[in-house]
Amino acid sequence: MQITFKLNKKNYSLDLQGHETLLEVIRNLLGLTGTKEACGEGECGACTVFANGKTVLSCLTLACDCDGYDILTIEGLSDGQTLHPIQEAFLEKGAVQCGFCMSGMILAAKNILDQNPLPNLEEIKKGLDGNLCRCAGYPKIFDAIEEAGKKIIKAK
């Protein structure tokens, strides 16, 4: 099946099998390995990407269903060598341990902050529902998201 989509502002036209997931296409075919596969069954959020402005679990999303979509992965978040404020805040707050959950966490954080740059703790927790950190670094992740929101407001 021939599909076209935009990924991190670049257009792709691909010939895919109907069973291939968006995660498989992003990682294995296009070589963007920032998006992680952990559970592979929709439980952990490690594979989170944006599709048409909404977060989706790429391990559960068929690539063929993304024809015409605009997709953003962690590789598309920074502006060249300049980190996105969320990435900066995660580094500054020491929220990254093994890093395996991070691309999903950071994109889930973007989803929260796109809607409200000053979320309270409960809103942050709710927005991260579905993104698991096996290193259990949640307090620093929550701090980082709060800090990122302040950075985003300051940059406006």
What are 83's two structure tokens?
Answer: 């980190």
CA distances from 140 to 5, 145, 148 (A): 35, 9, 12
Within residues 33-72, the interface with ligand FES by CB under 6 A covers: 37-40, 42-47, 57, 59
Q: How far is the CB of 48 from ligand FES (least distance, A)?
A: 7
Residues 6+ apart with CB under 8 A from 147: 89, 92, 93
Sheet holding 48-51, edge to edge: 10-15, 2-7, 70-72, 48-51, 54-57
101 forms part of the interface with ligand FES (CB under 6 A): yes
Q: How far is the CB of 13 from ligand FES (least distance, A)?
A: 25
Identify the residue among 34, 85, 117, 137 touching ligand FES (CB under 6 A).
Answer: 137
24 forms part of the interface with ligand FES (CB under 6 A): no
* 48 close to 58: Cβ distance less than 8 angstroms: yes
Q: How far is the CB of 64 from ligand FES (least distance, A)?
A: 18
Residues that bind ligand FES (CB under 6 A): 37-40, 42-47, 57, 59, 96-101, 133-135, 137
